[in-house]
């Protein structure tokens, strides 16, 4: 990659403050910016690095007012964090090449249908009547079961397992060793103390623009569908049980888990190792701090929770202050 400040400003819809011909060839964090690199500044606690940074270009918010001289050329945008994400997308898209490829050691069943310029790596398997959309990449050692549908411009990384009958939308990214569509954890207790397996006859529906982390599992439903709606982002090592529904643009950090038949609202945030019990409803714009454990439904929108069992954030902080005092002599 090689861009001038002027070119980057045009891509991002920003304005240049400094040398419009300043050139960069790589990205760097603002703490370690060097000659030839572009950085971004969005968090006020990193402001001191703006003045020390050796990078040639720094993306900053329009509202930023320097308190000292800045040696780098600045590109001013409305939201620096969103702008650098867009720039990374742009650079990645330019590098990406699309060509039809089918590994000699792959197996694609005769009744499967592949779109334009689909990549299928060695040892990948695509089952009967599966459908794969245009420009999708199915990397090595991926299993795509019978009747699966995968949309266009998806990336399925090595080792992913997609059980028969699952539905994947467009622009979906599934990272290595994720499992989509395993049976949910459903067993009926019998009088003799044993457990009778409850068959799961449903599927998983993953809508457009979803990203699923490595080693995450999403179980298919007993009946109906487990649904991951548009724009959801799920980190590594997460567990989503049968019949869960996660609404648009919710994010889950690593090692979080949602038990069966729970419905999560739009624009929610789950910190690392959050656990949510089954058969609950969580309102839109709810956030959970790391290791929160929710045992009851959340009906009011826009609340933040911490602790296990989870309670509203300010209640938690007041309780924790008392807890710390109790431990002192």
The first and second tokens of residue 203, run together, are 């599927």
- The CA distance from 84 to 149, in Å, is 32
Give the contacts of 232 (CB within 8 A, at least 6 positions apart): 207, 210, 211, 246, 247, 248, 249, 250, 251, 252
Q: Are strands 195-197 and 3-4 parallel, antiparallel or unpaired?
A: unpaired
The first and second tokens of residue 328, run together, are 């002192």
The residue written with tokens 């419905």 in the block is 263
The first and second tokens of residue 277, run together, are 């019990």
As separate numbers, helices (DSSP H) first and strands (DSSP E) second, the chain gives: 4, 40
Among candidates 270, 273, 266, which has minimal Cα distance to 301? 266
The first and second tokens of residue 139, run together, are 């990397």
User: Where would I find the H helices in the chain?
Assistant: 5-12, 47-52, 80-95, 313-326
| Catalytically annotated residues | 242
Contact 116, 99 (CB under 8 A): no
């Amino acid at each position: 990659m090689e861009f001038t400040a002027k070119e980057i400003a045009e891509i991002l819809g920003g304005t240049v403050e400094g040398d419009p011909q300043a050139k960069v060839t790589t990205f760097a964090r603002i703490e370690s910016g060097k000659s030839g690199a572009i950085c971004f500044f969005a968090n006020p606690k990193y402001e001191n690095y703006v003045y020390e940074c050796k990078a040639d270009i720094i993306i900053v918010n329009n509202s930023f007012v320097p308190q000292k001289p800045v040696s780098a050329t600045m590109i001013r945008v409305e939201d620096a964090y969103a702008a650098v994400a867009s720039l990374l997308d742009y650079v990645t898209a330019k590098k990406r090449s699309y060509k039809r490829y089918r590994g000699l050691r792959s197996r694609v069943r005769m009744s499967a249908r592949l779109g334009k310029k689909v990549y299928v790596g060695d040892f990948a398997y695509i089952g009967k009547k599966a459908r794969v959309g245009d420009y999708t990449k199915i990397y090595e050692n991926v299993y795509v079961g019978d009747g699966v549908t995968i949309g266009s411009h998806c990336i399925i990384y090595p080792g992913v397992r997609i059980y028969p009958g699952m539905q994947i939308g467009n622009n979906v990214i599934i990272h290595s060793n994720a499992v989509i569509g395993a049976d949910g954890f459903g067993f009926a207790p019998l009088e003799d103390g044993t457990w009778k397996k409850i068959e799961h006859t449903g599927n998983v529906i993953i809508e457009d623009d979803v990203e699923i982390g490595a080693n995450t599992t999403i179980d298919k439903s007993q009946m109906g569908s487990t649904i991951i709606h548009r724009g959801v982002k799920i980190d590594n090592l997460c567990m989503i049980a049968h019949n869960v529904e996660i609404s648009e643009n919710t994010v889950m950090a690593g090692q979080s888990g949602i038990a069966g038949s729970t419905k999560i609202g739009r624009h929610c945030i789950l910190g690392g190792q959050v656990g949510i019990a089954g058969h609950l409803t969580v309102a839109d714009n709810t956030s959970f701090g790391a290791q929160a454990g929710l045992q009851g439904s959340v009906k009011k929108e826009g609340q933040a929770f911490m602790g296990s069992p989870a309670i509203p954030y300010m209640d938690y902080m007041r309780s924790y202050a008392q807890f710390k005092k109790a431990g002192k002599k």
